[in-house]
Chain A
Amino acid sequence: MRAYNAAWQKCLNRVRSILKALNASVVENVVQQVSGAYDDVLPGLPYPELPVVPLYGTSFALLDDIMHGIANSQSAKNDADGTPSHPTLQVHLYPPECSSVTNMMRALVTGFVDRECDKRKATSLASFDVNLLRAWYTAQDSQPRLAVFLHEFEKFDKGVVQDVFMHIPYLPLVFVLGMASPPTPPYLHSAYPRSTLALLRVQQVLAPTGVTTIKEILTRTFYDANFEPDIMLGPGALEYIVDFANRHSASPDTLLTMLQHFANPLSIFVHDNLLGQTSTHDAERVLGSSSGFSALSDALHARLLASSSQKQTNNRPQTITQLLGSVSTARAAFHRTARRMRVAFAVARIAERVASDESPNALFSGGGAEARANRLDGLEMLVGVQRSRATSQVHSVCTAVRKLSAAKLYTLVQELHTFLYGLESAATRRDEEDARLWIVQTLNECPQDMEDAQDDDAPPVQDATAKELAKNVGDWLEGYIQERLVRLEECTLWDIWHTGASPFPSEPINPAPRPTVIAALLHPHDFIRAHAGLTGTAGLISSGDEDSSGDPALWELPDTSIAFRRYVEAGRMVNVFDWFESFAVVLDNQRKQLKRRAAAAAPPTPARVNGRGKRSPVKGKGRAVNGKSKPEEHEDGEESSDESMDEEEEEQWKNEVQARFIRALHELDYMGFVKHTGRKPDHVIRTIYDVPD
């Protein structure tokens, strides 16, 4: 887990930095809007306007960036130019505290004014009086800019904001509105009357949001040649993330939560094989000693066997040392391939960019939408690359490259050169050595024909050479890229560092509670099995359920399910007594059946009490059912002991049925399936109707 944390931390920081970089432009834009709001005003306006900066697509990260940006910019400007720059003071208002004009003004005014101690008496200006703010402002020697942040602007009461905007003269206030709504259709214009808008100078700022951000993050986290994540996202996960971003919500925060999910039992080896210990033999000891790890080492053996049998190496790592060694080598190999793939991908994209702006439509015969869909820098392509679906595209790109004109070619080679030499990590540079060499020499042969390609109308000879050059550049590119774009699954122990095609665990991120619960109530046994499979407590319930592997009869279901079945059959309003009757019928049936079965089987160990004690109505269905399957068996045990049941038995049975029904009813109630009505006595209302069987 430590290793996992480390890996995750690395990615997280990366993502954060990327986000910050993305937001930088917006931040500085806002900052200069705010600080310069009163510096340049259009002369000749009939009246001064109130600058307002609606900020669309805000996230909290962006907001604090902006706040810091404003603060820093002030200090920076102070250092930079000797001019008495205006510091910007900020006040943040939230909808709840602005329920009325008075409250909003109070929040606004005191937010600024209470920075100093105030010795205001009862005879002084009211704390919600804008004049107080003015008095305070005139007392300030450095005319500050007053920035007011209205968060969640859509939730503010229109009338209030209207009135507040209505009277804010002669104070350098700047309003920054955190908008959740998209800029089109404009919320401001749809919500506020013209008389208000006429007072404002609205200058929109759009924060980068949506799919583009996601794409940026993904590419630059997992497909950037200069950054090495410890764990490569597999196509499955990528696919899901991309789909989710398109379909549900494309905000960086959700992306982060999703990225957190690449956990893996083996991920101890993600970082180093030292298992957090200092030296190798400590690691051996740990690995040898601790039982938990022994199982793990077995797993490792198995994997290594599988992989090594594929590549017919016969040396089976005997000792743990060898084991660890092989693990480390495997890691190295994996990282290498991953790195190579990233580089190749980057190269391919460069080539494509150059080629495409050479001849945008010649490149993609299909043109239009699907062409853009399978562009290499499309979001889907990230998946495609790993699925090695990209080859066709790569091919088309390379053919395009072959057709490149000399000038284009030159630029292409240039860019490749800069890219390859701009690589940061030494390792990458090392194993791109040959590519770099090749590039250099192509570059060397490029220029001279560049000159005479330029100097006058290129003679066919030169043209031919250019073509020639273009051709082999294209070939080289194709070969290069194809060689590197391998499936990451090939290398050994890939699934330690690479969440392969395994589908993303979507349920925890995006569950569908209601159908799940209903299904659980309808088919409890399936869920019991699933639950058992998850928590390896198979032994507990297997006894009751072998025979009911098919669709179990009604009487075999736990009480709650029985009650629920009846409920499903009922009408809109359920008469509780009828419900109880039908329930009781089923239970009687169940009793008979169990008696019959008990005749055959030996009475199991009585565990009624703790059976009852164990069941807790608030747990998920699996638990409840575990608890339930027991007492039935048990009580038929005592039924079997004496043949005819006499009065108090009868009485007791009645009570038990009633108790069980009440419990079942309460469970349903707890899960919100019934709504109590005051209108009719002992009736409840169903909350869900169309229940699939």
Chain B
Amino acid sequence: MSDIAPGLQTALADSPHYEFVSNHLSLLLSSYPPPFIFIHDPETVRLTASLVQSTLHGLASKSPTSGESQIKYACVNAVACFSPRILYDTALNALAGWTPDWRDGATNWHGSGAEARRYNENFDAFVHGIQTIAAGADNAGENAQTNGAGKGKGKAKEQGAPPNRRLVLVVERAERLKDNLPELVVPLTRLGELSQVDITTLFLSEVQWQDIRLPLRASPEPYYIDVPFLIKQDTQELLASAYPSPPAESSTSAVDVDAYHPALKPLYTHFIATLCSTCSPFTHDPIELAYIAAARWPGFIQPVLDAHRGLLKEEEIASSAEDGDADGKHEPHELQPPTEDTRLRLIRLFTPSFTAALESLYPRLSNAMDWARVHAPPVDLLLMPPGHAPEALAAQVVTNAASLNTQHGPTEAGIEALPRMAKFVLVAAFLASTNPARSDLRMFGRGLDERSKRRKRKVGTPRKPKPGTTGTAVKIPQRLLGPTTFPLDRLIAILGVLLEENDADTRPAAPQYTVSGEYTEMEIARVALHANIVELASMRLLVRTSPPDSLDRVPMFKCGIGYELAIKLAKSLGIILNDLVYEVV
């Protein structure tokens, strides 16, 4: 899992909200830790993880005083360590402060023994490695180029400073351990007693311990630390204090250089407050909010910067009008935080776009960069009359989007770009997996009379008298329960009906087919059609549920598109879908 931006980290470190956790941890770890700690944080795991790491880092860097013991820690991610060997390697290397170097074959930390020992073959070896590290032999690791010297140093350390060192093993996203390496959960939690050294295992997860632990109480109960919830206030302070440092000049980004000018911090605080109040009903996650903020802020601040530039330019002119010390006069005009009413104007202007940002960014329908590009405001927004500003904004957005699209090439390729036959197949598949098979005859019976009969009959049948009144459960429409599987033949048959009724006229003339429907018969047996079906399956618009290799079994499929999409396709083909759907919506 990728780590947190530095600004946010520093903000975390001194946020009053997380003090509780960090204090507990540092006090525990520095004094007499229980062998197994479990930190539970349902909301903001990543923040907590970075916090824990920074705390541990602080503890480790602190030189041990007489009473305490020197702390060495390793953070492993249960997702990254999908195999025991990786877990062992990562943990040991981190504990020994050893970074494998590519030039000497990227070897792991191998104790201070004369010959390289493997500590990653099984759990016992891992424990031995830990014991060796705890015994202080890892100074050899730090300069392992010369083993002999390293060992000597290790021994020297033995007699010298108290060798008493405390190891901490942090496992992030511990809930994944249960899936990936279930056989390691218990030994890790019992690491302290298994390896007779002073080591603390620290699990960090957004799931409660009782969801992770194995049955039969094989592993000891942890010492629980629950991270309290961020209330809105805390979130705001956290984000506001995480005001990013101005980007380095080298970064050729779409954002104005001094968008994060320190002078704008107060404005940023207000901005964050508004943002939080707008978005908080939908997400509390500080990371998400920060993401949205990062996408919105440049555009938000752009007018102010423009205004400032304009000011500078005038002043340039003015100063050039009278002589010389223009540069001297530039200093005072550094870039003032904007005035109150400007702030209000900006907020009023951009508040609607906050929700827009939330809608497109929170589900990641678009990424922050593109969104920021698209929603960049027109130049000198502040100069134009307040009445026109909003639509100017909107217009700008449209133009930006257009430009972005053109640069991204033709966007014509959508589901509309599918070939006609594929569209037919999709509609047929949708019908096949929403309608019950028994209703096919009714639905697709040839001839208008049956069709009309069906419609007459249909009003009564599928609907139960009154939902809830009868003891039985209410019937859920199939399109909510998800598509059902259907054999290929059924798909082909329905497709035949659709083609016969909606496609017959568009075909190229084929004199050789005389009987009515014979042409369709041929069409639905074409190779290209089956090729289409297979291709759709590879696009996951059709889902193949039967194993692809079995020849003699008839392949089963499932529809991959939803109702709205089906409606759209049907419209484009001139099919009235609702006549063919068993349960009308």
Contact = CB atoms under 8 A, between A and B. Distances in A.
B538 A123 contact: no
B527 A202 contact: no
Contact of B251 (A43, A129, A130, A201): A43
Contact of B7 (A44, A199, A204, A239): A44
B4 interface: yes
Contact of B293 (A44, A120, A198): A44
The CB with the most chain A CB atoms within 10 A, among B80, B108, B372, B507, is that of B80
Given A126-B83, A136-B106, A510 B526 contact: yes
Nearest to A152: B538
Interface in B95-153: 99-108, 110, 116-118, 120
A111 B93 CA distance: 24
Interface in B251-274: 251-255, 259-260
A206 B413 contact: yes
Nearest to A197: B364
A155 B539 CA distance: 9
B552 interface: yes
A601 interface: no
Given A135-B99, A189-B364, A249-B531, A43 B407 contact: no
A203 interface: yes
Contacts of B21: none
B409 A25 contact: yes
Interface of chain B, main secondary structure: loop
Contact of A57 (B1, B107, B413, B541): B413
A212 to B, nearest CB: 6
Contact of B369 (A118, A128, A201, A212): A201
B532 interface: yes
A29 interface: yes
A39 B2 contact: no
A209 B198 CA distance: 64
Interface stretch (B332-340, B418-426, B457-465): B418-426
A227 interface: no
Nearest to B552: A675
A100 to B, nearest CB: 9
Interface string A660-674: 000000000000000
Given A41-B369, A166-B79, A206-B410, A248 B110 contact: no
Contacts of A197: 363-364
B412 interface: yes
B346 interface: no
A574 to B, nearest CB: 16
A47 B5 contact: yes
B401 interface: no
B297 interface: yes
B525 A249 contact: no
B541 A248 contact: no
B364 A194 contact: yes
A135 B93 CA distance: 12
B413 A210 contact: yes
**Chain A interface bracket (under 10, 10 to 19, 20 to 34, 35 or more):** 35 or more
A120 B412 CA distance: 50
A208 B117 CA distance: 56
Contacts of A25: 409
A480 interface: no
Contact of A167 (B79, B116, B287, B417): B79
**Chain B interface bracket (under 10, 10 to 19, 20 to 34, 35 or more):** 35 or more
B477 to A, nearest CB: 20
B363 A208 contact: no
Contact of A180 (B531, B535, B565): B535
B290 interface: yes
Interface string A166-198: 111110000000001111111101010010011
Contacts of B531: 248-249
Interface stretch (A73-81, A333-341, A358-366, A512-520): A512-520
Contact of B539 (A154, A163, A166): A154
A155 B118 contact: no
B46 interface: yes
Nearest to A210: B417
A124 B561 contact: no
Given A39-B252, A122-B118, A125-B108, A181 B540 contact: yes
Contacts, number: 270
A129 B96 CA distance: 18
Contacts of B80: 130, 166-167
B408 A199 contact: no
A512 B291 contact: no
The CB with the most chain B CB atoms within 10 A, among A129, A163, A197, A247, is that of A247
A126 to B, nearest CB: 5
A129 B370 CA distance: 33
A166 B1 contact: yes
Contacts of A460: none
A512 B513 CA distance: 14
A49 interface: yes
A205 interface: yes
A246 B525 contact: no
B522 interface: yes
Contacts of B242: 46
A650 B12 CA distance: 101
Contacts of A139: 101-103
Given A26-B409, A29-B408, A249-B419, A185 B561 contact: yes
B508 A123 contact: no
Nearest to B100: A135
Nearest to B517: A692
Given A128-B83, A200-B364, A41 B253 contact: yes
Interface stretch (B57-65, B84-92, B351-359, B442-450): B84-92
Contacts of A511: 526-527
B419 A247 contact: yes
Contact of B421 (A102, A131, A155, A248): A248
B538 A154 contact: yes
Contacts of B46: 47
Contacts of B298: 42
A180 B526 CA distance: 22
Interface in B48-80: 77, 79-80
A46 B102 contact: no
Interface in A21-76: 25-26, 29, 39-50, 56-57
B170 interface: no
A132 interface: yes
A119 B251 CA distance: 37
Interface string A134-164: 0110110000000000001011000000010
Contacts of B3: 47-48, 169-170
A56 B413 contact: yes
Contacts of B529: 248
Contact of B89 (A48, A131, A168): A131
Contacts of B528: 244, 248-249, 509-510
Contacts of B540: 154, 181, 187, 191
A246 B419 contact: yes
B89 A126 contact: yes
A690 to B, nearest CB: 9
Contact of A44 (B244, B409, B419): B244
Which 4 A/B pairs are nearest by Cβ-Cβ distance? A139-B102, A167-B80, A46-B290, A44-B244
15 contacts: A40-B253, A40-B254, A42-B372, A43-B246, A44-B5, A168-B2, A182-B414, A182-B417, A185-B562, A187-B540, A203-B367, A206-B410, A206-B411, A208-B409, A514-B525
Interface of B: 1-5, 7-8, 46, 77, 79-80, 82-83, 85-86, 89-90, 93, 99-108, 110, 116-118, 120, 242, 244, 246-247, 251-255, 259-260, 286-288, 290-291, 293-295, 297-298, 362-365, 367-370, 372, 407-415, 417-422, 507-508, 515, 518, 521-523, 525-529, 531-532, 535, 538-541, 552, 561-562, 565
Given A46-B286, A102-B83, A197-B363, 9 more contacts: A46-B4, A46-B294, A119-B104, A136-B102, A136-B106, A166-B1, A199-B2, A248-B531, A512-B523
